[in-house]
């Protein structure tokens, strides 16, 4: 009897794509083999996390990386990281860190729903989401004018869920943000290209391990070393 017969869960034919509600992806053969091998030993999880993060960074051409429980957890880690700066007390206070610099700007067409709202993930990370522009049009001045001293980051959704037309493109968002010293976080959860967004200058790029890469429920974030170090501290907080 198969495990799904035993649980009385009918199998389905997937004609929809990498959908969370269908189990995202079926595991690649190499992934199953690696999981079997890795699961048979005890290791230092701190060391494993560091090495796995380095591996992810290497594949993405990034300075540093960190493994997370999923892309959603990656969004939370990224937001909590840049808001707390890795400070231990603020890290323990997330999702209500006692700092004023908590605003996370996103274009209205990027306030997506991926079986959960993007804005909720930002809030769990301690961010206060501020949607700018309109669903059918957002212009650079909408973003520029919303950046103030309380702004912690700009979140950019690189996703088929997002509005595809008349949003400010990523290269422009990065230019605006960096002119004001604000980091750009890119949710590239389901994207296949592991290098493009790092190369464009995004500060943190968030991937799901279960979508394009056909792994189990998992994720990773890559980007600039100073920011990834801040995110790493969140394993002593919301990313536990």
Ligand X SMILES: *Cc1c(COP(=O)(O)O)cnc(C)c1O
Binding residues for ligand X (CB under 6 A)? 20, 70-72, 114, 157, 159, 161, 187, 189-190, 208, 210-211, 219
Least Å distance between CB 3 and ligand X?
Answer: 21
Count of CB atoms situated within 10 Å of the CB of 58: 11
Least Å distance between CB 174 and ligand X?
Answer: 18
Nearest to ligand X of 20, 91 (CB atom): 20
Least Å distance between CB 158 and ligand X?
Answer: 7
DSSP 161-225: TS--SSSPPHHHHHHHHHHTT--EEEE-TT-S-SSHHHHHT-SEEEEESSSTT--SS-EEEEE-H
Nearest to ligand X of 111, 132 (CB atom): 111
**Cβ–Cβ < 8 Å for 54, 219:** no
Least Å distance between CB 119 and ligand X?
Answer: 12
Query: Residue 36 corresponds to which tokens in the numbers above?
Result: 């079997």
Nearest to ligand X of 72, 90 (CB atom): 72
Least Å distance between CB 167 and ligand X?
Answer: 14
Nearest to ligand X of 44, 165 (CB atom): 165
Nearest to ligand X of 77, 228 (CB atom): 77
Query: Residue 44 corresponds to which tokens in the numbers above?
Result: 């230092």
Residue nearest to ligand X (CB): 70
Count of CB atoms situated within 10 Å of the CB of 98: 9
**Cβ–Cβ < 8 Å for 185, 75:** yes
């Amino acid at each position: 009897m198969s495990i799904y017969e035993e649980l009385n869960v009918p199998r389905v034919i997937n004609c929809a794509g990498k959908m969370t509600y269908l189990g995202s992806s079926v595991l690649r053969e190499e992934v199953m083999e690696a999981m079997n091998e890795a699961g048979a030993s005890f290791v230092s999880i701190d060391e494993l996390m560091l090495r796995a993060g380095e591996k992810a960074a290497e594949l993405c051409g990034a300075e540093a990386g960190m493994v997370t429980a999923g892309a959603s957890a990656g969004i939370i880690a990224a937001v909590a990281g840049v808001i707390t700066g890795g400070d231990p007390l603020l890290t323990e206070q997330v999702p209500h860190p006692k700092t004023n610099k908590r605003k996370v700007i996103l274009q209205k067409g990027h306030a997506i729903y991926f079986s959960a709202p993007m804005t909720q993930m930002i809030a769990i990370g301690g961010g206060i989401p501020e949607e700018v522009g309109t669903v059918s049009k957002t212009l650079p001045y909408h973003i520029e004018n919303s950046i103030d001293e309380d702004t912690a980051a700009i979140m950019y959704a690189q996703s088929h869920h997002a509005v595809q037309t008349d949003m400010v493109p990523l290269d422009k968002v990065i230019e605006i943000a960096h002119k004001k010293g604000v980091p750009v976080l890119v949710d590239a959860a389901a994207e296949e290209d592991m290098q493009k967004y790092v190369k464009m200058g995004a500060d943190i790029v968030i991937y799901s391990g279960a979508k394009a890469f056909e792994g189990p429920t998992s994720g990773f974030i890559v980007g600039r070393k100073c920011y990834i170090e801040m995110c790493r501290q969140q394993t002593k907080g919301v990313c536990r």
